[in-house]
Structure 1
């Protein structure tokens, strides 16, 4: 029990450490596992590990735990795949999946055979293991790099879909090794296995998704408070049933299951995704530490040679660029985008998990392979972890500077989303619209929407907080939210909901009456108009005669000087920067730079602060 608890606790510590030192969490997870596992043998008198995953999960139990955990991770990844994202680049994604599988399998096998001296059977298995990328590594890497939308979508889809494909190919190669049918034509054997695997996965995942969608849309069948729990059980059941139909088809089934649910119009899908993200975080934290602790120090020491490094270089810097080259011929991707995509190919938990499973089975003594091949099989896991650590470290540290040098980073959107198209919101939106700042106004009132349209402003009739709206809004255009309804609770809810997409420092709202009137009250940050006016006060104010003015700052002002400058204006509204980005006037305003334009209202009949 103490070892199991330690694994979980150390996993969470490694996640925190990764966040603290700003590196992908997978790196500290593996390092912690190595320290308490194989490296700890240097510090014990009997040469035993501090923690050994093999002592916690034995034989088939280890296989089942890892397999099911990988399935849950792939389901969560499937939930995030939106078909509308692939518009104009879908052909690139499918080419990457096809060419990536074929070139990596064959190229990886040939490189492993000639560089490491492995037999073709074990070399083919290693080539299959390195096909997979991994959403658990690609996702955090992309969030840190923030490449443009095309690159982000391509790498995200590849990272999720290549996992079940790579796992299936690895399973077929593994089954071929175990079959012992050396005289049987391999292509026929592979096609037969692939056909049954695919049909089992597609059938089970599709049926499970159909039933689940019907249940989620009928509250009489499934109440909200049971949704997450029931779906978690359904994912596990789908995985198990698919494996009963055909062994190892569960990974494909749960990926298809997640994709269908993720693209269905289901209310409160966001809460389900957050729940699955939490489950995935726990599983990843536990699995990486556990799998790292299983490795043998002698196998790790065997990697300390030029052959392993040469194999790494060939896989990452020759095979991967070839995959991208063949996959992007004739597409509208620039050479810079192609170069960057070819540079990003980290491996993750699926590669580690599948390598652990096959190593366990091939070295158990029951597999029909020679003693030499058993020794080769022992190297599969260390070699896979070498690829994982190498890609995470190198790409994690260098990808963002490379993206910046190639100019493929995502441009910061300067558009503004409005929650509420009432008089106050429309007043601000019209000024932004006049200065050609993209604006989208959301409101449930048909009259408010009509009025906004009359002024030529883009609208969304309905709540921007609904699941459908969050899916439909193009956040590549709109980078901030102004919540300007008359209901303070809705404004707070709006900021909290949309902050998951934009970030807490990109959402703003009107102050409540209490926040305006109570001077002693500690006001929250990001209140529009410095929290001096609530909805009613601002409505009364803008109905009076006023002139919209703009003045360009002639010098730099620090935070204190900025507020002194703003106090000279009747009603400062926002600042337009030279890159056409907008900063609303709030208490969290840091500075005003030279050439910034301050937009404000001047009143003839209103005293300041009224």
Structure 2
């Protein structure tokens, strides 16, 4: 029990550490697993590990736990592949997905075969594993690097879409291996088994998605049971597919998630959020456990020039070849191509699927030779080496490289609004008139509906959630205005988004206490000088008024600026010459003669 609790605790700590130091969580997950696993044997008298996954889950139980966990991770990954969101993402991304998968698979297999001496069976399997990247890996890197919009869009969408595609390719190759004889991969027997397995997984996954859509759309489940029943559906789909044809469950749940994501199904957002939470828990303990299972011998087997050469070929030969073939004839500059070629981190899906394949291939259920079993034992260490190497190297060097190549984005002028309330929508509509990018977020369906009626871009849900932080493109937005009626949520919003934008780029409404107490030391980043709380501001904008603008006759220092603004009923924004804005707060330092002050003038009834 203590080891199981330790796995969960260390897993959650690794997730927090990844967030705190702004690196993909998989890096601290794997490193902590190695520290409490193989490396801990150096500090114990009997050579035992602090935590050993094999002692917690024995034999078939270990196999089943990993198998089902990876299945749930792949289902959640499949639910991110929404075809309607890919229509306008550009030919470059489609080429990266198609050419990238093919070139990485074949190039990785050939490199692994000749450099590591692997048989083509295991070499192609490793080639399939290194196709994937994933948003949980690329997201933190992009937020830290801040590349220009074109690079950011390409890498973001490649990371989202390549996950289920890469996993699917790896699963199909693995299933083909399981369907064959040990001496010959390309036999009619193997082909027959592969086809039956594919049909079984695709059919079960499709039927499960059809039934799920019917159940949810006809509202046969109460809201409080939807998420947990959905979890049961996924587990049942996985088990049923495996029962019909061994090892087809992973394919079934991947297709299940992909079809469901592209169906018109009610409550999909809440289900996806729940699955993200479940996946987070599974990932937290799974990768610490799997890392702890490795031995020092496994790690020592990679301490040679062959593994370094393979890593170099994967990252610095195959990846540039993928990008070069995918960007021929495009408008991308050579600097942008070079930078995209440099970014190719591997992630959680690669580690999870590699872990599962290693367990299966070394358990005796696969028709492979003893030499190939030895090769399969290196799949997990090789995958972990690729993940750690890419995340560490690119995490440390990508930002300086982006600056050197001059592909970092300009300071964004867009504004995020936390709260699609009357106050937030009022401010957003003014900014729309100046063609400033805006995005309002709210959990209220009524508020979101009103925002859509006004044709204001929306994010339905909490902008503070982990999913939002990974999926919202922050490249357009440089400021946050927290305008909800709840002061605690406004404070939390500023604190959370400040990790993305910086403390001097987040603003909020004052609380009632801050407005009414003159002696209280007010924060500098309160909107409207902290003179109005939500109710007070709502009352003002409901009065008859007009929105006007004015330019000062000369540049004003801070004191002169406050005196100038005191002439207006309600000054709101300062619009600068470069189409950036500054909200009126106590942190205002000056107003230039080229600036434009936007203010409200109350009119008589």
- Measured against the shorter chain, the TM-score band is 0.7 to 0.9
> What is the 5 A alignment of 1:259-408?
259-266=258-265, 268-331=267-330, 333-364=332-363, 369-408=368-407
Match of 2:540 among 526, 538, 541: 538
Do the aligned partners of residues 83 and 208 (structure 1) sit closer, same or farther apart at CA in structure 2, a change above 3 Å counting?
Answer: same
For normalisation by structure 2, the TM-score amounts to 0.80
CA distance in 1, matches of 2:312, 2:99: 19
Query: SS in structure 1 opposite 2:289?
Result: helix
Whether the 8 Å contact between 1:132 and 1:167 is mirrored in structure 2 is no
CA distance in 1, matches of 2:281, 2:479: 31
Do the aligned partners of residues 268 and 159 (structure 1) sit closer, same or farther apart at CA in structure 2, a change above 3 Å counting?
Answer: same
Q: Which moved more, 1:76-85 or 1:429-438?
A: 429-438
CA distance in 2, matches of 1:230, 1:67: 20
Summarize deviations over 1:345-404 as a string: whole Å, max 9, x none: 222233323333333344446765554444333322222221111111112222333344
CA distance in 1, matches of 2:327, 2:334: 10
> What is the 5 A alignment of 1:195-234?
195-219=195-219, 221-234=220-233
Deviation at 1:340, TM superposition (A): 3.1
Summarize deviations over 1:186-241 as a string: whole Å, max 9, x none: 5x56654554344333332332223223333344x112222221112212222222
Whether the 8 Å contact between 1:511 and 1:535 is mirrored in structure 2 is no
For normalisation by structure 1, the TM-score amounts to 0.80
Gaps of 5+ in 1: 453-457
Gaps of 5+ in 2: none
- Which residue number corresponds to residue 455 of structure 1? none
Whether the 8 Å contact between 2:29 and 2:287 is mirrored in structure 1 is yes
> What is the 5 A alignment of 1:121-200?
121-147=121-147, 148=149, 149-172=152-175, 174-175=177-178, 179-182=181-184, 185-186=186-187, 192-200=192-200
Match of 2:454 among 460, 463, 467: 460
Query: SS in structure 2 opposite 1:574?
Result: strand
Q: Which moved more, 1:328-337 or 1:274-283?
A: 328-337
- Which residue number corresponds to residue 106 of structure 2? 106
Whether the 8 Å contact between 1:441 and 1:460 is mirrored in structure 2 is no
Count of aligned positions: 585
Do the aligned partners of residues 249 and 140 (structure 1) sit closer, same or farther apart at CA in structure 2, a change above 3 Å counting?
Answer: farther
Query: SS in structure 2 opposite 1:599?
Result: strand
Q: Which moved more, 1:309-318 or 1:330-339?
A: 330-339
> What is the 5 A alignment of 1:449-528?
460=454, 488=485, 516-517=515-516, 528=527
- Which residue number corresponds to residue 597 of structure 1? 595
The alignment's C-alpha RMSD in Å is: 4.5
> What is the 5 A alignment of 1:438-457?
none
Query: SS in structure 2 opposite 1:113?
Result: helix
| 1:248 is the counterpart of 2:247 | yes
- Which residue number corresponds to residue 30 of structure 2? 30
Do the aligned partners of residues 253 and 30 (structure 1) sit closer, same or farther apart at CA in structure 2, a change above 3 Å counting?
Answer: same
| 1:237 is the counterpart of 2:236 | yes
> What is the 5 A alignment of 1:406-445?
406-409=405-408, 413-415=412-414, 432=431, 435-437=434-436
Whether the 8 Å contact between 1:444 and 1:463 is mirrored in structure 2 is no
Query: SS in structure 1 opposite 2:123?
Result: helix
